[in-house]
Structure 1
Amino acid sequence: MLTVIEFEKLLSKSESSVLDFKKELYDFQNHQDGTSKFIKDILSFCNTVRNETSYIIFGIKEMGDSSLDLLGISENIDDSILQEKARTKIFPSPGFKYYTLSYKSKLFGILEFPVTKYEVPLSPTTKMKGLEPGKFYFRNGTSNTEASGLESIHIGKWLDSLPNFKVNSEQKIKTSDFIIRLSNEDEKLSKVLPELLAFATENNWVNLVEFCSIQIIGIRSQTDEEYPYRMQKVWGSIYQAEFNSNPYLVLTQNKLQKELNEDKNFFSLKLTFTQSLLELENIIKKFDEDSGFSITIQKRNMKEISKDGPDRPFFIYCLEDDYKSVYSNIRQKAIDYLMLK
């Protein structure tokens, strides 16, 4: 990722085959045009013969006198969305990352393209506006251009000359190993994710670093939209009921669900499960080991549900299946992140 000093150095340069300034992010609302421009940029920057990392910086307008108007961006997009768009429309899978940088109280988007060795030059897998499957594109000065036969040969020879193919292969192998481990339900996430965090940090995978960190320490503050994979439909009531008092009475999850659904004193609500991985695993372990433990009960305040609600206690009831679903969702989310790499 760029530092502020490195960012300022780029601002002192003119647009070139390794640097492009754009006023705003791609217009993906205009699906065909926005997506095709994005894909063509990815292809062109990855295929350009060079010995340095190249960049597209969003939020900057180049003026007629070559000066720059630092506008910043008002909207942003997640790196995982861009990775998915590129992965499904480009072969081989491109190596790039998107992130933001704050500079002089404004936010700028940055697409970064490290020099990466591919087995063959990148090409689109489907026909799109201005793009043909099997064709190669590269940066010719400040423009994206379709490569001629001779230019394609030059790009291929440049890729062959790069020394880091073994490194990329090792990275892919390790990524596959993590996917296999995550697919094994017998392997605890509290063991896998710290190792995955170190691997993601080493490769500067910002989104995966953030994801792993959150799962390991738990969620400290959130809005419902931030962590949908940790949300479950649970039950609430102003009354405190007791379900775990009789160790000889084993209540099945279906029976508990039916009782809560039929009792008018209970209402359903969506809850974000904020526990750390170890806390989730300990709760699930208690469910598995304790035949008399069938549901968790949390005491909260009505104001946590509604700002206009009364200042009085209420109780949240979470079933074993709720915790196991959240745990499974975290496992799948980690796999999803790695599938994009």
Structure 2
Amino acid sequence: MKILIVNNTRIPATKYGGTERVIWWLGKELNRQGHQVTYLVGAGSECPFAKVLVFDPAVDINLQVPDDIDIVHFNYQLPGFHKKPYLVSVHGNPGFGELLDQNSVFVSGNHASRYGASAYVHHGLDPDDYPKPDLSGKRSYTHFLAKAAWRVKNVKGAIDIATASGNKLVVLGGHRLNFKMGFRFTPNLNVSFKGMVDNAEKSAVMKHSKALLFPVLWNEPFGIAIIESLYFGCPVFGTPYGSLPELVSREVGLLSNSRSVLTEGLKAADQFSNQICHDYAVAHFNLKQMADNYLRLYEDVLNRKNLNPNQPTLQVVTPKYLPWHKD
């Protein structure tokens, strides 16, 4: 099959780049399975296993898609495309009242259901992008992995949980002094900040971490940080919002919107098995599963089946910040 993967950013990801990582991993696995993959992506992109075309937002997308492509896989909503069969992966949380393409694919079951849709595919992790985890080594701190400037990611909650449980916290994706979301300074020296890190530094931190603290205050669509951390043997302590109950079973983490419950749970983090967490991630969130699930959807689209019964749209308005109990 000749597959065109479209996104309006550059690949490969050099720092965080969740969507960029996912489309890279997907293309790599599709190529490994014998499919011909082409990327239509931002200027400056490069890829050793696929042809790269430069996306131009000023040119009609129908004119940018090669004639010999079988199916187009968009990674954002791009109305007006009609040249070839296509589907659209939804990576974020579109707002209330926004009508999405009927062939939209979400990234978790919860994500899809919140938009009245049925099509979803979990992300899969590429172990080749990470060093081998040390599942028996000493672990001496916890970590937070997200864009800390986003209040919905609740880095303050993570800091409170770590401090109250007597654990140090390494924040990946934030700075001690932050002006992006209003002036914010964290004087707590129990917390170290690494800023936006690349895979090597991120992996070095997770390799020796007791747990991922992920007390998000919104409906998380998926959360690559979750499966990355599990891959390194780190249990997940987070809130029960969005995809988290779907991704984090009781054997690999604890979910609660109560700071005190998560704090007490974190004190007993060593009751979780690093090996079980790693094995769980490998079994449930791997590249082959992700690619195979997309290939089934590609076949449905090529057979002129609609992936969802109607145009997906957010069914219920939720508060900007979901409840977080500090007791």
Q: TM-score range by the shorter chain?
A: under 0.3
TM-score of the pair, normalised by structure 1? 0.23
Q: Which has the higher contact order (CA 8 A, sep 6+)?
A: 2
The structure whose Rg is larger is: 1
Name the structure with the higher helix share.
Answer: 1
